[in-house]
Amino acid sequence: MHIEKIARNFSRYHKYTLGTDLRNKSRGILEKIIKANNAVDNRAVHLLELRQELESFKVLARLCHESGGFTSTRSYLHVAERITNIAKQNEGWLKRCGTKTAGIKSRRK
């Protein structure tokens, strides 16, 4: 919900490009959390996908900040802190699942 408010304050150019990407990725992250929560057998797979989505979101938020999309550094820092907390929680979930890759960054193909 916070992303919606932040993207609403982007300039017109950023609102319809980077703002749309931020909103879509934030919804995607929420969907992946729900899938992982509801998964019984393959929860670790969903959590690894969530890890990738979170890393992608971090990069996109940084790009928005550097290109002037965020109205203030404070807004960016708030988003960065929230996404970092979610990423830490995800790593905890991966450890709980007993995934050997917990704590190791996934490699891109």
Alpha-carbon gap, residue 45 to 49, rounded angstroms:
6
Which residue type sits at 4?
E
pTM above 0.85, yes or no: no
Beta carbons of 53 and 32 less than 8 angstroms apart = yes
pLDDT of 101: 57
Tokens of residue 30, six digits? 């929420």
- Taking the CA atoms of residue 79, residue 83, residue 84 and residue 89 in that order, the dihedral angle to the nearest 10 degrees is 150
Q: Which CATH class is domain 2-97?
A: mainly alpha
Mean pLDDT of 90-107: 73
**pLDDT tens per residue across span 36-64:** 999 988 899 999 999 999 999 999 999 98
pLDDT of 99: 67
Q: Which of 75, 83, 89, 12 is nearest to 47 (CA)?
A: 89
